[in-house]
């Protein structure tokens, strides 16, 4: 069974531009979660999508947004990039009714220059 | 509300020695507890989990953890460390209801294994 996949592996963007990160969940999983892992800040919850709807978001500004597609894949958009957005962005998924048990992808390393 | 505290940001052991990584949690509802491992430049891999039932849980790569409600702890152990165990380890807490959808993570413990 394929795990959670994320693309691209690395992304380098200049400050002020937009970044788009993509995630495909494990087959059969309907929820997708996004976390940011920035140096020295640990793992911070960003967003939760379930059945195409945003269910919850963490303490991040509105320039962090995303969506979930009918096939349950998801994308995370970061607008007006700032240097402090440089981080590893991790996507996770869970099966219906098991929000507590999340499986993570390999992450996308975003570097803002 | 839920929180996790991992005692020790860095732990160093010799190859073949016991590994003990400490995790204490706070939760107002019955907790579900997890240990994840992260190798350099990779994502998180689920090592083991406690939801209900047996309080001693076994995971992959020879790791195990024991849920102790009276001590609000979920420490991770391995009898004999291997060089390949060098990584960062994260303890996380959730609950069955988890209406917010997020796992609450500790700050992580970096494990070094000396030959």
> What digits encode the pLDDT tens for the residues B43-95?
999 999 999 889 999 999 999 999 999 999 999 999 999 999 999 999 999 88
Q: Give the pLDDT band of residue A40 (cuts 50, 70, 90).
A: confident
Check CB contact of B8 with chain A, cutoff 8 Å.
no
Residue recorded with tokens 């073949």: B16
Residue B109 tokens read as: 């413990």
Q: Is pLDDT above 80 for A98?
A: yes
Is residue A83 helix, strand or coil? helix
Q: Which of B52, B102, B105, B110 to mutate against chain A (most A CBs within 10 Å)?
A: B102
pLDDT of B28: 87
Residue A35 tokens read as: 């976390």
Sign, CA dihedral B2-A96-A41-B65, equals positive
CA atoms within 13 A on the CB side of B79: 2
How many beta-carbon pairs below 8 A join chains A and B?
57
Average pLDDT, chain A: 95
Of A33, A55, A106, the CB nearest to B43: A106
Could you report the per-residue pLDDT of A4-33, keeping only the tens digit for each? 999 999 999 999 999 999 999 999 999 999
Check CB contact of B5 with chain A, cutoff 8 Å.
no
Q: How many residues does chain B have?
A: 115
Q: Is pLDDT above 80 for B99?
A: no
């Amino acid at each position: 069974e394929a795990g959670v996949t994320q693309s691209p592996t690395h992304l380098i963007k200049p400050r002020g531009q937009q970044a788009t990160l993509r995630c495909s969940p494990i087959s059969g999983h309907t929820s997708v979660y996004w976390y940011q892992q920035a140096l020295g800040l640990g793992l911070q919850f960003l967003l939760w999508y379930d059945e195409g709807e945003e269910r919850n978001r963490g303490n991040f500004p509105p320039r962090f947004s995303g969506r979930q597609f009918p096939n349950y894949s998801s994308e995370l958009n970061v607008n007006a990039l700032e240097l402090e957005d440089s981080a590893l962005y991790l996507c996770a998924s869970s099966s219906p009714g098991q929000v507590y048990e999340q499986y993570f992808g390999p992450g996308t390393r975003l570097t803002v220059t | 509300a839920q929180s996790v505290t991992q005692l020790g940001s860095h732990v160093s052991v010799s190859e073949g020695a016991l590994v003990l990584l400490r995790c204490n949690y706070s939760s107002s509802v019955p907790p579900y507890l997890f240990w994840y491992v992260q190798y350099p430049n990779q994502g998180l891999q689920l090592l083991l989990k406690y939801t209900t039932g047996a309080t001693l849980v076994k995971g992959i790569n020879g790791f195990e953890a024991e849920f102790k409600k009276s001590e609000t702890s979920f420490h991770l152990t391995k009898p004999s460390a291997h060089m390949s165990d060098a990584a960062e380890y994260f303890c996380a807490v959730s609950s069955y209801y988890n209406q917010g959808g997020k796992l609450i993570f500790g700050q992580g413990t970096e494990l070094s294994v000396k030959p």
